[in-house]
Chains A and B, each alone.
Chain A
Amino acid sequence: MSNLTNLSITAMLSGLGAKDFSARELVQAHVDAVEGARTLNSFITETPEAALAAADAADKAYADGTSGKLAGIPLGIKDNLATKGDRLTAASNILGEFKPPYESFVTNQLKQAGASILGKLNLDEFAMGVSNESSAFGPVVSPWRANGSDDKLVPGGSSGGSAAAVAARIVAGALGTDTGGSIRQPAALSGIVGLKPSYGRCSRWGAVALASSLDHIGPMARTVEDCALLLEVMAGFDANDSTSLDLPVPEWTANLSPDLKGKRVGIPSEYRADGINPEVVAAWDKAADWLRDAGAEIVEISLPHTDAALAAYYVISSAEASSNLSRYDGIRFGLRVQPENGNLDDIYYATRKAGFGPDARRRVLFGTLVLTADFFESHYVRAQKVRTLVIQDFTKAFEACDLLLTPTAPNAAFPLGASASQTDAYLNDMFTIPTSLAGLPAISVPAATNAQGLPLGLQLIGKPLDEQSVLNAGLALQQAAGFDALPERWW
């Protein structure tokens, strides 16, 4: 890493303002870093020319005092968010060579603020997964390696490319999406900060929909302050998204403070499950002490329906996903496989068989099943009722506390190809899924490294719309943990 790529966004902005370096230099250093890190496979599409053009525009803006909040900052965008004119893949073959003629709301916000976009980042196909191994463009390799080992590790998923790129210092920050934990879990496994805001805080217009009621877009960066700034820029009401919150964007950065006096932090007893790595538990206990030192009161609370939440999530997210993925049919855009003398149904079968990977197909089939007449009441409706109970759990818990402290993932990064069964993979989201069901703001902050030198992350969950408390507690955690481990460059 050069001196220019191992800076926080805050530090970069400071440097640019002080003319320590130009935006062009800054972005060029990242373009070079991206090129040098191709073995990580974190990018699907690189856009260096556009990035440098944005850098030049930023330099002009700095010169005449019109620079935006992110002028010249090199970012990566998860490839399930549309950027105008760039190939959009969702890491699937079924989108073919599709290039959207529109810019998603969130990326437009970033560009308007002067950000420089380096390219589109790899992900699990259609954002389904916890290890970024299901991408049609090959798995992402984590920049982290266990001490004394050459084994390739996963960066987490589904925002694996985003996490790896930020951790490897080839982008200053990235956008990810989180449906069941896909920002937070990879952030934890890759030793960076990942923020999932409240549902509706960021517009989903232009984001490839997976599960409409569960999809969130959020920032991933190396510090809590950076995430706060990115969220401030990308959030806001969008009339084109009927689930977008019509509320002003709070000044999170200005109100950031690690002082937690008067705050109560709850520890959910049900999250102390078997199967959590003991080092994760140790970090969790340590963090409770840190937050106490920062002024918070630690309390035990209960989330009784935690067990049922996982199943409810998979039913609901699969149902919505099966519906949202119906539009990929080979008719109007993307891949079309046209069997000779085939009719409409033949196009559907051939295209979707060729275009969807096994995980996507499995999810669509299951989702379709739970919506059929035979299973609708027993599965879909029931899952929605459980969802209400999960929400009520949190509402009740938040009477006794203002924040929850939990592990983000039950383990550190694991080797590529190691996810034994589907259910094991699902367990990786056990701590993050309930918050997605409830649409609560949550952040993952790197807290420690394990015995093998791999990062461990912890999660803070807040009340609806209370990103400020979440960010503040995250900052307290960040300062107390003093996490300064860097992946040693092997690429």
Chain B
Amino acid sequence: MAEAYLINGETGPFEVVIGLEIHAQVISKSKLFSGASTKFGGEPNSQVDFGDAALPGMLPVLNGECVRQAVRSGLALGAVINRRSQFDRKSYFYADLPTGYQISQFFYPIVGEALIDVELEDGEVVQVGLERIHLEQDAGKSVHDLSPNQSYVDLNRAGVALMEIVSKPDMRSPEQAAAYVSALRSILRAIGSCDGNMQEGSLRADVNVSVRRPGEGLGTRCEIKNVNSIRHIQQAIAYEAARHVEAIESGGTIDQETRLFDPDKGETRSLRSKEDAVDYRYFPDPDLPPLILTEEFIEECRQSLPELPRARRIRFEQELGLTPYLARVLTADIDQSDWFETLLNDTAKHQGKAPRDVAERTANWMTGELFGALNKLDLDISESPVSAAQGAELLALMADGTLSGPLAKQVFEIMLETGGNPGDIAEEHGLKQVSDTGALKETIAEVLTTHADKVADYRGGKAKLFGFFVGQVMKASGGKANPAVVNELLKEALAG
């Protein structure tokens, strides 16, 4: 078990206590209470219904698809589904909140408690408690940098459905928080209830941080709002915890307040103190009746769930025989795991073998070669210039000896550039492996003749020179010689 994460202050060690409120934008065609589109990146104020603009006399109508997505998410996380929930108004004044209140769920949320298994880098599993999930409206966007003395408001986002996923304060390190967010993101993406795109803001975190000496009760916490990348979450926690420790050790106190993280400075700064805290005056929204879920509806939601990341990972390990590391890497993201399964099935078919028999090779190629290339090109798997079918063909060419490892690498480079098929490329560029023993014997003979002195040294005991000969043969063959065959023939030839 890994060591506990502690901050070593001057007066002793401090524990960090972390809770996260994740806002996940629901995948749905229209908004939570209106029919306007939820598409990202539209022209400002082009996706705004009369109700979104809070014109007089407009009323909310609940979008059933958003309810379905919330229930599916709750089921995927193993949470309690509340048969009865209601919508409440959360009131405050701001320009991007047209009605002057956000429709949310305060008293009775749609999803209740859960316990989520979160795997850390080293394989250790920690359990993080989920408090609740509720549905609520997103606000619009305020734009302050278009003009020196005016602010603008874009209401496209106003009313889009969010799931607010509230954890219990169970995390104890930035790493745990990061792993929790990754796990959550992975599951929501796998079931298609949220695309988890943090740059576009479909997944945001409010981070609650406090510190305490081991054994003490909870310290005063601060909330850091709207942190939009996993890296920033870790940085914010580290900075904030250190700030708390410093304040406490210098004899001061921590004020309960809301803060913002500045990614450029790597610091948090105060946004709002407790005195300025807003009283949201929650009360049940009288325009909306309570939400009652039937057993049939919940069952339908359950049936609609695909294989979840954890189940898939276990299957990869047990049925395909992949190492825990490979299984974990390949199931971290739904797009990648889907791509892998397609690749695996095609590869198995090409080679007339069972998937289990080719799984490890396939997984190694994908996580090594393919991921390496995609990282360099800064592309997602969904943007890969090489398709799974082409990958399968490449692997087949390696398996049947047409391509050696190094040749395959060359072919792969060209595939990345041109998007062409490996067979065609090998043909065109003459990159096929030479395994013809006759031809290779000739090449070997030439090499040994050219380097007769080294041959003598080798036979005299310098065994290391074998590698030199291999290199020379490969060079002479333009890298196409089949290394295994070369090895064998060279051994024979050198033995005299």
Residues of A within 8 A of B (CB): 81-82, 88, 90, 95, 98, 100-102, 104, 204-209, 211-213, 239-243, 319-320, 323, 326-327, 329, 331-333, 344-345, 348, 368, 371-373, 376, 380
Determine whether the beta carbon of A82 is less than 8 Å from that of B57. Answer: yes
Q: Across the interface, name the chain A residue whose C-beta is closest to B51.
A: A240
A323-B56 contact in complex given A212-B286, A242-B287, A372-B281, C-beta closer than 8 Å: no
Interface hits, B53-74 → A, CB 8 Å: 53-62
Determine whether the beta carbon of A100 is less than 8 Å from that of B101. Answer: no
Determine whether the beta carbon of B56 is less than 8 Å from that of A240. Answer: no
Determine whether the beta carbon of B91 is less than 8 Å from that of A371. Answer: yes
CA of A368 to CA of B153, assembled, Å: 26
Determine whether the beta carbon of A371 is less than 8 Å from that of B281. Answer: yes
B343 to chain A, nearest CB (A): 47
Of the listed residues A90, A102, A331, A348, the one surrounded by the most CB atoms of chain B closer than 10 A to its CB is A331
Chain B residues whose C-beta falls within 8 Å of the C-beta of A204 in the assembled complex: 57, 59
Chain A residues whose C-beta falls within 8 Å of the C-beta of B95 in the assembled complex: 331, 344
Chain A residues whose C-beta falls within 8 Å of the C-beta of B153 in the assembled complex: 331
CA of A102 to CA of B153, assembled, Å: 23
Tell me whether B89 is interfacial, beta carbon within 8 Å. Answer: yes
Chain A residues whose C-beta falls within 8 Å of the C-beta of B62 in the assembled complex: 242
Determine whether the beta carbon of B59 is less than 8 Å from that of A326. Answer: no
Determine whether the beta carbon of B60 is less than 8 Å from that of A242. Answer: yes
The interface bits of chain B over 126-163 (1 if a CB of A lies within 8 angstroms of the residue's CB, else 0) are 00000000000000000000000001010000000000
Tell me whether B256 is interfacial, beta carbon within 8 Å. Answer: no
Q: Across the interface, name the chain B residue whose C-beta is closest to A88.
A: B56
Chain A residues whose C-beta falls within 8 Å of the C-beta of B56 in the assembled complex: 82, 88, 90, 95, 98, 100, 208-209, 327
Determine whether the beta carbon of A376 is less than 8 Å from that of B283. Answer: yes
Determine whether the beta carbon of A326 is less than 8 Å from that of B57. Answer: no
Determine whether the beta carbon of B98 is less than 8 Å from that of A323. Answer: no
The interface bits of chain B over 82-94 (1 if a CB of A lies within 8 angstroms of the residue's CB, else 0) are 0000000101011
Tell me whether B44 is interfacial, beta carbon within 8 Å. Answer: no
B105 to chain A, nearest CB (A): 15
Q: Across the interface, name the chain B residue whose C-beta is closest to A101.
A: B50
Kindly state the interface size class of chain B when it binds its partner: 20 to 34
A242-B288 contact in complex given A326-B93, A376-B281, C-beta closer than 8 Å: yes
A81 to chain B, nearest CB (A): 8
Chain B residues whose C-beta falls within 8 Å of the C-beta of A207 in the assembled complex: 57
Among A82, A90, A213, A327, point to the contact of B100 (Cβ < 8 A): A327
4 nearest A-B pairs in the assembled complex, by CB-CB distance: A326-B100, A371-B281, A212-B286, A213-B286
Tell me whether B99 is interfacial, beta carbon within 8 Å. Answer: yes
Q: Across the interface, name the chain A residue whose C-beta is closest to B149.
A: A341
Determine whether the beta carbon of B100 is less than 8 Å from that of A104. Answer: no
Chain A residues whose C-beta falls within 8 Å of the C-beta of B288 in the assembled complex: 242
B1 to chain A, nearest CB (A): 43
Determine whether the beta carbon of A320 is less than 8 Å from that of B57. Answer: no
CA of A320 to CA of B88, assembled, Å: 12
The interface bits of chain B over 251-288 (1 if a CB of A lies within 8 angstroms of the residue's CB, else 0) are 00000000000000000000000000001010100111
Q: Across the interface, name the chain B residue whose C-beta is closest to A241.
A: B59
Chain B residues whose C-beta falls within 8 Å of the C-beta of A88 in the assembled complex: 56
Main secondary structure of the interface of B (DSSP, over half): loop
Q: Across the interface, name the chain B residue whose C-beta is closest to A95.
A: B56
A327-B91 contact in complex given A90-B56, A242-B60, C-beta closer than 8 Å: no
CA of A111 to CA of B270, assembled, Å: 56
The interface bits of chain B over 283-296 (1 if a CB of A lies within 8 angstroms of the residue's CB, else 0) are 10011110000000
CA of A102 to CA of B57, assembled, Å: 10
Determine whether the beta carbon of B55 is less than 8 Å from that of A333. Answer: yes
Q: Across the interface, name the chain A residue whose C-beta is closest to B60.
A: A242
Among B55, B91, B283, point to the contact of A326 (Cβ < 8 A): B91
Chain B residues whose C-beta falls within 8 Å of the C-beta of A98 in the assembled complex: 56
CA of A348 to CA of B287, assembled, Å: 25
CA of A213 to CA of B56, assembled, Å: 16
Q: Across the interface, name the chain B residue whose C-beta is closest to A206.
A: B57
Among A90, A102, A243, A345, point to the contact of B50 (Cβ < 8 A): A102
Determine whether the beta carbon of B151 is less than 8 Å from that of A344. Answer: yes
A329-B101 contact in complex given A95-B56, A205-B57, C-beta closer than 8 Å: no
A240-B54 contact in complex given A327-B99, A371-B281, C-beta closer than 8 Å: no
Among A95, A323, A332, point to the contact of B53 (Cβ < 8 A): A332
Q: Across the interface, name the chain B residue whose C-beta is closest to A371.
A: B281
Determine whether the beta carbon of B101 is less than 8 Å from that of A323. Answer: yes
A100-B289 contact in complex given A326-B100, A344-B94, A372-B281, C-beta closer than 8 Å: no
Q: Across the interface, name the chain B residue whose C-beta is closest to A212.
A: B286
Determine whether the beta carbon of A332 is less than 8 Å from that of B54. Answer: yes
Q: Across the interface, name the chain B residue whose C-beta is closest to A90.
A: B56
A416 to chain B, nearest CB (A): 28
Q: List 10 A-B contacts (CB under 8 A).
A: A100-B56, A205-B57, A208-B57, A212-B287, A242-B287, A327-B54, A344-B95, A368-B281, A376-B281, A376-B283
Determine whether the beta carbon of B279 is less than 8 Å from that of A240. Answer: no
Determine whether the beta carbon of B100 is less than 8 Å from that of A242. Answer: no
Chain B residues whose C-beta falls within 8 Å of the C-beta of A102 in the assembled complex: 50, 55, 57
CA of A319 to CA of B282, assembled, Å: 11
CA of A243 to CA of B286, assembled, Å: 9
